[in-house]
Structure 1
Amino acid sequence: MALQLGDQVPDFKQASSMGDISFYEWAGDSWVVLFSHPADYTPVCTTELGEVARLKPEFDKRNVKVLALSVDDVDSHTGWIKDIEETQSVTLNYPILADSDRQVSNLYDMIHPNADNTVTVRSVFIIDPAKKLRLTITYPASTGRNFSELLRVIDSLQLTDNHSVATPVNWKQGDDCVIVPSIKDPQELQQKFPKGYREVKPYLRLTPQPDK
């Protein structure tokens, strides 16, 4: 059965370009972005892995570890990493799982037979420190992923986990947030949102970002 939002993700132990990884132990109390690739030496994925290496300081600031996956073995990854570093002008600073036995691919339902019955689709999983699945996105092979969007989603998840707000369309750091509809008591509103709020409709109330 496919993983659904809120599910606890499965643990695994698998080889990687940086040694064996026991997932729960490796993740610790961090958030994780796990993202899969159909195979090594694929052009779109080469650009993606380079971009994630460039963005790693941004993930680090958010207590997020990044973990790639491809169905090829470690020796293949080693050669591909040299190409990534050469063509993308980066140092690859995170591991790529070597899922040649498809263990992780099957656990996380990354193989979609109608797309390809042997390699993984290009999926993204955002996993919180409790090992709960918070986001999944699956991209077609022709479209590179937008990792700035994943950072934006992580910012939203971390904000809304700690404050009684949701984030509206196209929200980014510093923008107004939406007060969750369940809060109706005026005293609670004043206590939780001392910066005040603007009522557009009774169910649509905007407040400055609480942690700014």
Structure 2
Amino acid sequence: MKYIIIGLGYFGASLAEKLTRTGNEVIGVDHKMDKVELLKEKISHTICLDATDEQAVSHLPLKETDVVMVCIGENEGANILATAIMKQAKVKRLISRAVSALHQTVLQAMQVDEIIHPEEETAERWAKKLNMHGVIDSYELTGDFSIVEAEVPKALDGLTLQEADLNDKYSVVVLTLITMEEKENDLGVKAPVPHTEGVANSKTRLTAGAIMVLYGKSKDIGAFLGQN
């Protein structure tokens, strides 16, 4: 996968390093040369430019990039402007950082694909989320175990958990399902809001588009998601 990470503060730098270490091509972008110099030996590529300058941004390989992440946190205005430029460029997948409730509302109005909350989420969780196919979120537990939120694969659509038999096949347990309901935010823009169902059982039916909350060893969850 190819990523562009804009904003190499603590969160952006940590994420860029983790994604590089897991075999991805990462271009780190920041307007401060000292941050770029600090990371030039740790990630695939580093570029010093102002991501709020549309002409400067046009030199980035946006069309060939799978995911663009705007991780600017110290300046909400710069974050929103950089995000708007990326949205206008129609990048394949746009993820942007929100540092306040109002900031998030603005990003939702811009129809950003996903929103990061670094104060609540770690770079480790986002690295796993981006590296595992279909992963929405993940939580590290003790040892090798994780709880992972992932999209229900199309191959399992309509099956009950008993029919899917994930425990025997992959040693993975489905704890519950989450569906998304659209509600209006403060600006009157419809945004998805998660609704969690009760504890899953053998009769729980899987639906494509819903989110499964999985429990198991990280390698087993990875193997299951890699097969679907």
TM range (shorter): 0.3 to 0.5
Higher relative contact order (CA 8 A, sep 6+): 1
* Normalised TM-score (structure 2): 0.40
Higher strand share: 2
Q: TM-score, normalised by structure 1?
A: 0.43
